């Protein structure tokens, strides 16, 4: 059939019979002869959106689809949705190669010519296929070399469709009159960066009551709060079609991990990011702190600057890399606050013009616990004629030590600040297993400016087994008022 002039925008490339089945491209490519073709996955962070920033998809293998007798001419149309050629598809990758080819010499085409499309920016190409003297059968596989593609849409997949025609005009127009059609999803997009922030078991960062919550119950000087890992995702490809690496997606400018909690007990270098599970090796990343206010001074924000090299923790070079550890080391002089949920924000910096990095928010990267029970009597009184007492009960099988701290209320009912008591400010002792202690009024503190205040008890016993009651007894009438002590349930800050 004669092909019109409008179909010859790209010059025809004559070829000899190709007698080899060797791949034309090192990338796995896409095989429509397979019962279940394997779709390639490329990193969605890549910017493969122009002729100068494209991705290598490898070769397309597809059945011819219809038999050809000797010296017959058919036309193969290859088209893409959501993909365009970054360079010419008119010829093969080598000076002797042809595009497309059949991998068996006896069934090789006599000639191949690119007729229309296939230029940079096109999403289709049409080839004329002239069979040799032996002809071809429908199952003969064609190997089509596809130059790199680019896309303006990194969300939707790239779908390839091949259509075999007996007429060139129909092939150029892409009509529905194809002898055979094949289609499949050649490439899709997914994140190439795995980011995992995992809270460690509470035992690794539990402050012990016996130290006044100034040390960890494990006896270690450090406490492991959580882990952070940033590494490539397995089987996700970079623009060249190889396993993606962090250097493909991230730049050399440092990102940061910002933690929100209460790190007051940690001193100036209390929060670190360590490559070692023992929290002591390679603590190159030390947090800088931001106080919640100049007057309170509690360090609520810890900012860790990440290393500029993606070869250093928490970055992992491979898909099997180990995480880095977020560590909290107290000074031993300040009580460690309980924090039910330490939150985090990770900021990554993308490789210049090559990719787009994503920021991550973590609702929980770890927590700080206390191993005992905290009971509060938010309002205690020592009025004339009344006898106050506190009753602590331990139904557990182990004795529990306790420490009570008493603080006086304001000096008048209209307001004012709390005042530290002058005498008997601390109450200490042990509640026996399965037993009870009663702290009589004579042991209660003497308020210096008022007859009211509050008491906080830290008890080295399990929460389920320890209870407390604040009691007032009228010395004249014998009437009794009992008030259960409360358990604080704040989500962040000090107990």
- Model confidence over 5-30: pLDDT tens digits? 434 333 333 232 222 233 446 688 99
* pLDDT greater than 90 at residue 109: no
Nearby residues of 481 by Cβ (< 8 Å), 6 or more positions away: 471, 472, 473
- The predicted-structure confidence for 238-282, as pLDDT tens digits, reads as follows 999 999 999 899 888 878 999 998 888 887 778 888 888 777 665
The per-residue pLDDT for 432 is: 92
Q: What is the pLDDT of residue 490?
A: 37
In the three-class reduction of DSSP (H, G, I as helix; E, B as strand; rest coil), residue 202 is classed as: helix
Mean pLDDT in the chain? Answer: 81
pLDDT, position 411:
58
Mean pLDDT, range 312-328, rounded to an integer: 85
Q: Note the pLDDT of residue 259.
A: 92
Residue 66: band (very low, low, confident or very high) from pLDDT cuts 50, 70, 90: very high
**Does pLDDT of 196 surpass 50?**
yes
Q: What is the pLDDT of residue 1?
A: 41
* Residue-level pLDDT at 211: 80
What pLDDT is stored for residue 184 in this prediction?
97
* pLDDT tens digits along 70-79: 999 999 999 9
State the pLDDT confidence band at 401, using cuts at 50, 70 and 90.
confident
Q: Who contacts 314 (Cβ-Cβ below 8 Å, separation ≥6)? A: 228, 229, 230, 257, 273, 306, 323, 324
Confidence at 171, pLDDT banded by 50, 70, 90: very high
Question: What residues does 180 pair with on adjacent strands?
Answer: 164
Please tell me the predicted confidence (pLDDT) of residue 157.
Answer: 97
Q: Is the peptide bond before 172 cis (omega within 30 degrees of 0)?
A: no
pLDDT at 281: 61
- Whole-prediction pTM value? 0.73
Q: For residue 445, what pLDDT band results from cuts at 50, 70 and 90?
A: low
Residues 146-159, mean pLDDT to the nearest whole number = 92
Which range, of 38-42, 270-274, 307-311, 425-429, averages the lowest pLDDT? 425-429
Give the span between the Cα atoms of 281 and 272, in whole angstroms. Answer: 10
How many angstroms separate the CA atoms of 150 and 84, rounded?
A: 5
C-alpha to C-alpha distance for 429 and 215, rounded to whole angstroms: 20
What local confidence, expressed as pLDDT, does residue 133 receive? 86
Residue 370's pLDDT band, with cuts at 50, 70 and 90, is confident
| Measured torsion, CA atoms of residues 432, 434, 438, 439, in degrees rounded to the nearest 10 | 40
Say if residue 95's pLDDT is above 50: no
Q: What is the pLDDT of residue 11?
A: 32
**Longest pairwise C-alpha distance within the chain:** 123
**Who wins on pLDDT, 10 or 463?**
463
Question: What distance in Å separates the CA atoms of residue 350 and residue 358, rounded to the nearest whole number?
Answer: 8
Q: What is the DSSP track for 130-170? A: E--TT-B-TT-EEEEE---EE-S-SSSPEEEEEEEESSHHH
Helix-, strand-, coil-residue percentages of the chain, each rounded to 5: 5, 40, 50
């Amino acid at each position: 059939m004669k092909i019109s002039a409008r179909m010859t925008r790209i010059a025809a490339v004559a070829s000899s019979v190709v007698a080899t089945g060797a791949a034309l491209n090192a990338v796995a490519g896409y095989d429509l002869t397979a019962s279940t073709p394997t779709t390639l996955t490329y990193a969605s962070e890549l910017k493969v959106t122009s002729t100068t920033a494209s991705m290598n998809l490898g070769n397309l293998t597809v059945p011819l689809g219809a038999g050809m007798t000797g010296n017959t001419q058919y036309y193969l149309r290859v088209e893409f949705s959501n993909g365009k050629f970054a360079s010419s598809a008119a010829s093969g990758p080598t000076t002797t190669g042809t595009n497309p080819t059949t991998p068996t010499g006896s069934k090789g085409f006599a000639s191949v010519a690119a007729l229309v499309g296939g230029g940079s920016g096109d999403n289709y190409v049409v080839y004329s296929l002239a069979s040799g003297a032996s002809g071809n059968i429908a199952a003969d596989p064609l190997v089509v070399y596809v130059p790199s593609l680019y896309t303006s849409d990194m969300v939707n997949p790239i779908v390839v469709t091949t259509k075999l025609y007996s007429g060139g005009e129909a092939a150029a127009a892409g009509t529905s009159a194809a002898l055979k059609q094949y289609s499949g999803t050649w490439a899709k997009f997914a994140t190439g960066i795995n980011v995992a922030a995992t809270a460690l078991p509470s035992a690794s960062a539990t402050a012990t009551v016996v130290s006044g919550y100034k040390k960890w119950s494990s006896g270690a000087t450090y406490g492991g709060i959580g882990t952070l890992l940033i590494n490539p995702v397995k089987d996700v490809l970079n623009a060249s079609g190889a396993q993606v690496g962090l250097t493909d997606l991230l730049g050399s400018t440092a990102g940061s991990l910002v933690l929100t909690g209460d790190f007051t007990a940690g001193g100036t270098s209390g929060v670190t990011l360590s490559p070692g599970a023992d929290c002591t090796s390679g603590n190159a990343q030390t947090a800088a702190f931001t106080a919640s206010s100049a007057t309170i001074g509690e360090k609520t924000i810890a900012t860790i600057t990440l290393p500029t090299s993606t070869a250093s923790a928490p970055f992992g070079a491979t898909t099997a890399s180990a995480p880095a550890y977020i560590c909290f080391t107290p000074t031993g002089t300040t009580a460690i606050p309980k924090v039910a949920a330490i939150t985090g924000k990770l900021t990554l910096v993308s490789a210049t013009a090559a990719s787009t990095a994503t920021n991550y928010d973590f609702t929980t990267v770890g927590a700080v616990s206390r191993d005992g029970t905290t009971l509060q009597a938010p309002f205690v009184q020592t009025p004339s004629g009344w006898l106050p007492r506190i009753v602590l009960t331990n139904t557990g099988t182990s004795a529990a030590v306790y420490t009570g701290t008493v603080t006086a209320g304001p000096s008048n009912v209209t307001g004012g600040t709390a005042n530290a008591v002058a005498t008997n400010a601390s109450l200490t002792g042990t509640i026996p297993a399965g037993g009870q202690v009663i702290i009589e009024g004579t042991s209660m503190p003497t308020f210096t400016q008022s007859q009211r205040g509050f008491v906080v008890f830290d008890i080295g016993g399990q929460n389920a087994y320890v209870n407390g009651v604040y009691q007032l007894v009228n010395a004249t009438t014998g009437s009794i008022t009992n008030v259960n002590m409360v358990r604080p349930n704040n989500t962040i800050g000090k107990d």
